[in-house]
Amino acid sequence: MALTIEQISALPKIELHVHLDGSVLPQTLIELAQQQGGELPVADPDELSAYMSAPESCQSLNEYLRTFDFVLPYLQSYEALERVAYELVQQCADDQVQYVEVRFAPQLHRQQGLTVAETYEAVISGLRRAEQQFGVMARCIGICLRGHQDEQNMEVVEAAAPFLQRGLVAVDLAGAEALYPPELYAAMFKRAQQLGIPVTIHAGEAGGAENIAIAVSQLGAQRIGHGVRLQENPQILQEIADKHIPLEFCPISNLQTKAVAEWSLYPIVSYMEQGIHITVNTDNLTVSQTSLTKELMTLQERCGLSDQAIVQLQRNAASAIFLEQPAKAQFMSDYEAKLLQWVQHNML
């Protein structure tokens, strides 16, 4: 029996891969623009969402990423970052998300003079306020960017260290993967490892399986963002399975960026059958016009994902969170109890 949208909506979920600047509410952008004296092309939230989301005809990751340029000018103050971080967790709470790791690139939010540390403080403050309000455990991940200068990226890593396990749980590398292979960024992620900061890397999205192997071997990636192109190299696929490296799948985004050409080719079922540690995430709530419920419903309809697989994906995500011990073990125990309760109500 397929699960209904009400059942999937009620499922306690975990979000490991969601970008702050891709998940801003249209109404919030309107209010931020008014406060900051900015000029938006339209004043209606529904009309504005068309400017903030990927076009239906989206052909590539680079085209997908252009939607961010529209929002970023309004996310340059402490107050704006704090607010959108809070509201992202609120959106997660509405979708029964129990734990979220919110990622953002500090260097993109410094046009009005914020330091990297201040951007971390602002986002963590919003996440904490929302955690207290909504009961969703919320942490952040700092992103280094492909195409940025080494010293800019190194600053993101160095500034993350004081916040480690004080609201921040990892660092990441994102951006135009096809133009900038991961080996260019080995130095800053070696530094992250020296500082004891966990690492996740966007790889195998706009580039091939080799990028995934390099991200793990040279950049110390403990998780991989996307990784859908892993199947292009069976040997690397087996290595990732053997090492239990979780992949952060973002299905609707992966179709929009053409990381996968069509749903019939989406490899989630085959990867799970081959023992790959898959998690399902949203990537960008606004840019992809999505939620975890929508992602899971879509996978059920388009890829024949079973009820059992949907539950397994949540367990996979719980074991992949970057929370420190003993907090991680405590969260996993509490979460498993909630998940079992849902299973008893919906599957037994």
Q: Which residue has the higher pLDDT, 15 or 58?
A: 15
Q: How far apart are CA 81 and CA 159, in angstroms?
A: 17
Q: How far apart are CA 256 and CA 286, in angstroms?
A: 13
Beta bridge partners of 224: 201, 247
- Write out the two tokens for 292: 């975890």
Query: What is the per-residue pLDDT for 305?
Result: 96
What is the value of pTM for the model shown?
A: 0.97
For residue 262, the enclosing domain spans 5-346
Beta bridge partners of 223: 200
Query: What is the per-residue pLDDT for 156?
Result: 99
Query: What is the per-residue pLDDT for 218?
Result: 97
Say yes or no to pLDDT of 348 above 80.
no
Q: How far apart are CA 230 and CA 236, in angstroms?
A: 7
The percent of residues in the chain predicted with pLDDT above 70, rounded, is 100
pLDDT band at 66 (very low <50, low <70, confident <90, very high): confident
Spatial CB neighbours of 160, under 8 Å, sequence gap ≥ 6? 120, 142, 168, 171, 192, 195, 197
Strand (E) or helix (H) holding 13: strand 13-19
What is the mean pLDDT of the segment spanning 247-257? 96
What is the mean pLDDT of the segment spanning 96-104? 99
25 DSSP assignment: -
What's the chain's average pLDDT?
96
Write out pLDDT tens, residues 134-156: 999 999 999 999 999 999 999 99
Query: What is the per-residue pLDDT for 242?
Result: 97
Query: What is the per-residue pLDDT for 34?
Result: 94
Question: What is the amino acid identity at position 267?
Answer: P
Q: How far apart are CA 256 and CA 44, in angstroms?
A: 25
Write out pLDDT tens, residues 269-294: 999 999 999 999 999 999 999 999 99
- Write out the two tokens for 249: 């799948």
Q: State the DSSP string of 258-314.
A: TSSSSGGG--HHHHHHTT--EEE--B-TTTTT--HHHHHHHHHHHH---HHHHHHHH
Say yes or no to pLDDT of 56 above 90.
no
What is the mean pLDDT of the segment spanning 21-32? 97
Residue 205 known to be catalytic: yes
Q: How far apart are CA 173 and CA 169, in angstroms?
A: 14
Query: What is the per-residue pLDDT for 150?
Result: 96
Question: Which CATH number is 214's domain given?
Answer: 3.20.20.140
pLDDT band at 69 (very low <50, low <70, confident <90, very high): confident
Among the listed residues 205, 232, 301, 336, the single catalytic one is 205
Strand (E) or helix (H) holding 33: helix 26-36
Query: What is the per-residue pLDDT for 241?
Result: 97
Spatial CB neighbours of 55, under 8 Å, sequence gap ≥ 6? 63
Q: State the DSSP string of 172-204.
A: EEES-TTTS-GGGGHHHHHHHHHTT--BEEEES
Domain count, the chain: 1
Query: What is the per-residue pLDDT for 270?
Result: 96
